[in-house]
Chain A
Amino acid sequence: MADEPYAIELRGICKTFGSIKANRNINLTLKKGEILALLGENGSGKTTLMNMLSGIYTPDAGSVFINGAKVTISSPEDSAKLGIGMVHQHFKLVENFSCADNIWIGARDKGFLLKKDRYKIIEDMASEFGFEIDPRKLVSMMSVSEKQTLEILKVLYYGASVIILDEPTAVLTVQETRKLFDVLRRMKESGHSVIIITHKLNEVMEISDRVAVLRKGEYIDTVVTSETTEKKLTELMVGRKIELNINRPAPNKTKPLLEIRNLTVLNDEGSVAVDDLRFYIRGGEILGVAGIAGSGQKELCEAIAGLRHVERGKIIHKGRNIAGLPPKTIFEAGIAFSFIPEDRLGMGLAPNMSIVDNVILKKYKYGTSPFVDRKSGRVEAEDIVKRYEVVTTSVDAPVRQMSGGNVQKVLLGREINASPNVLITAYPVRGLDINSSYLVYDTLNAQKAKGVGVLFVGEDLDVMMELCDKIMVMCHGRLMGVVRAVNTNKEELGLMMTGALDLVNAKEDKPAGIAVDSALTLEEWEREIEAEDKEVDKND
């Protein structure tokens, strides 16, 4: 086998964006018919490297060999011709096109007219590879897993022999991930080569033949998966030994701080996003919220923070209903809100303003002077930078110039500095590397020890099971149950997330999401809700 050329070989690849060296002198090999995992922290240049194979970027230096022959890839078209197909982290699909039409966009030899037989062709091809997909289904109606299948189908249709997947499992449930891995193994058997980018070490161990590790834009090593361990891989990735356990101090629980009943909230399109939801958070505990992306997490957080209209239901904070109150009142009552959206900068911070100004944003109203108190803002900004190890050139530099992880630290730091009693945090470690993630976990645990009730909306089930005390699962905005983190497993959570398992009434004596020592008795709750419904009827 030594004579067989590599499917892909990269030699000395460099790529620079402005002053950032995203890739420095990278060497990488991919054998035919193998699954190679590409491992590295965020900002280590994995996606950049793969985008050069897919023709999105062009390398500044270095050469690419495909099947032993030197090639130049200067556009996605070149890449496709060479048999490389990439499934991007953010799907490149047209939402209001059907499955078949999304593939047909790239059709070359299909004539001028759009013929009906395209549905049949796609269906036949899908079943040949063992996929189940309806070629007429609109992408906007598809689940994340279906969209991913379509992306894979697309690259296979265009004859890719090398398939690159950029964090394919980040948005999938456990069951969906298993399905995806079956697909990948089938593709490997049929002679395709696969590169898979992922953060999750257990998945790397499960699916890959070899692992290539990048660190801060540099190539570190390639190891055979069967000869390594998760611990060794982490060390390669981070560059030093690291403890992979999250602490979970025993909760020091108080009475319920925040109680939510019958909460219904609409999304931007006007359809129900949070559906008759109920749960409660005690002081001194971390409540995780699990669910497939877009199951109403965002709308729930916004409703609590007062940023979204509450259609129906109560949000009782320390015995007072805060539903419908302005965000400022809610914030002053001690409910802090840090939401990290997918693009990481969208909510909470003004990207063109400095750390100091962003800190002042939340406190400029206080004090007696008509002028802004910049001095205390600066002190606080410097404190945040020091305490959370924020990497920045200056507290006066625009927030947008910092890396995503540092931006997140500033946001979280500002919210915690307001010394809240309820902290709502959504995706606080989204895209953070291991070191920064652990810093965030420690910070949340410190808040918990102070008696703060923490609502943690997360993506990574492994992390949630280690960090949270209880996990609430949502599916299409509905409560599927609240489970103790020590008593559950990923399979159970995955089933609940897809709506296959409903544990709301699993315990006979205590329905999920209702505290036994609620601020109001059951009769009082019923009376409250009834009164409100009457109000709604009257208004209609």
Chain B
Amino acid sequence: MIDPIELMTLFLFSIIVYSIPLLYGTVGEIMVEKSGSLNLGVEGTMAVGAVIGYIVGCRADSIVAAMAVAFAMAALVGALFAFLTVTLQANQNVTGLTITTFGVAVYFFIGNALGNKWPQFQDSPGFAEGFSVIRIPFLSDIPVIGKVLFSHNIMVYMAVAIAILCWFYLNRTVPGLRLRAIGENPAAADSLGVKVALNKYIHIMVGSGIMGLGGLYMGLNMGGTFEGSNCWINGYGWIAIALVIFVNWSPAMAVAGTFVFGFFNTLRMYNGALASTFPEVLGWLDDIPAQFFSALPFIITLLVLIIDSLRKNKRSGQPKAIGLNYYREDR
């Protein structure tokens, strides 16, 4: 029997842990979509960043190297997407789907090629140390809240910081205003001398890089073991795309929005413990099959999209020109 307070603390702590990869993915996709590009390749972009960042991090024995490479590789995938859709004017939906297939394939290719030589980051002391918990002085000593909010690894803090920074960038800076203008009406931005293509490239790459960090975090969180059958990202890239709609294209809202999904994910891990600790109130959790909990994030995604479609005055944050390629001399 676990102490109820301790269980609740752990439960809340895990919500945050499980929200973070989605936060990276969602914020990254918001940056991409705000430039007017709908990138359905989140899943693949996260996979590429994850696997290459992870391997390099293990070899270099440094989490900084892992993050830098995860960001750079995912940004490179973003550059590919930008080249195809911005420069060559390819259809964004098809390109995004291709990126997903490609990225997940890269993950399996590298994993299978390494076989037994697949490294475990726990064997790289510097890397493992870098991913260990950083307790914020004083704040982490507060009961419950200290553990839940202020005893995480560096990538959790960074995710929240990136989300807030992106929100600030979009809403409070001149380049952010320009980016939003491109997503809304590229012709208007162009007529005022804003470099539309350059801006799209930059923000697609930066957004993709952020997704790559989320991929890396997922891999590390799952213990860094390569499984031949399952990709680390496991559909989270798709949930991130739905979340962008759910949080109305706001990085600040994304922090709250991802917790909803973190909650249901954590429920899957803790349903047994919750049922035995609070048998009267939550005993019924034990009767629900585990498969249902695994499916839950996707069921919730479906519900969220249905609710969002029914909402009146919806999608005020959706860039008007999303999914449309911009060609200046279009008649």
Contact = CB atoms under 8 A, between A and B. Distances in A.
A112 interface: yes
B182 to A, nearest CB: 9
A270 B314 CA distance: 12
Contacts of A80: 192-193
B84 to A, nearest CB: 23
A154 B178 CA distance: 15
Contact of B193 (A76, A101, A102, A114): A76
Interface in B165-194: 171-178, 180-181, 184-185, 187-194
Interface stretch (A90-98, A207-215, A465-473, A478-486): A90-98
B299 to A, nearest CB: 29
B188 A105 contact: yes
A17 interface: yes
B280 interface: no
Dominant secondary structure of chain B at its interface with chain A: helix
A113 B192 contact: no
Interface in A156-172: 158
A105 B172 contact: no
Interface residues of B, number: 27
Contacts of A57: 329
B328 A105 contact: no
Interface residues of A, number: 31
A105 B331 contact: no
For B177, B187, B192, the residue with the greatest tally of chain A CB atoms inside 10 Å of its CB is B192
Contacts of B175: 112
A96 B184 contact: yes
Contacts of A201: none
A184 B192 CA distance: 22
B316 interface: yes
Interface string A104-132: 11110011111000000000000000000
B306 to A, nearest CB: 18
B329 A56 contact: yes
A102 B185 CA distance: 11
B312 interface: yes
A283 B330 CA distance: 44
A113 B181 contact: no
Interface string A58-97: 0000000000000000011100100000101000111111
B313 to A, nearest CB: 8
19 contacts: A17-B331, A56-B328, A57-B329, A76-B193, A80-B193, A94-B181, A94-B189, A95-B185, A95-B320, A96-B316, A101-B177, A104-B177, A105-B178, A112-B174, A112-B175, A113-B172, A114-B173, A114-B174, A270-B312
Interface of A: 17, 54, 56-57, 75-77, 80, 86, 88, 92-97, 101-102, 104-107, 110-114, 154, 158, 269-270
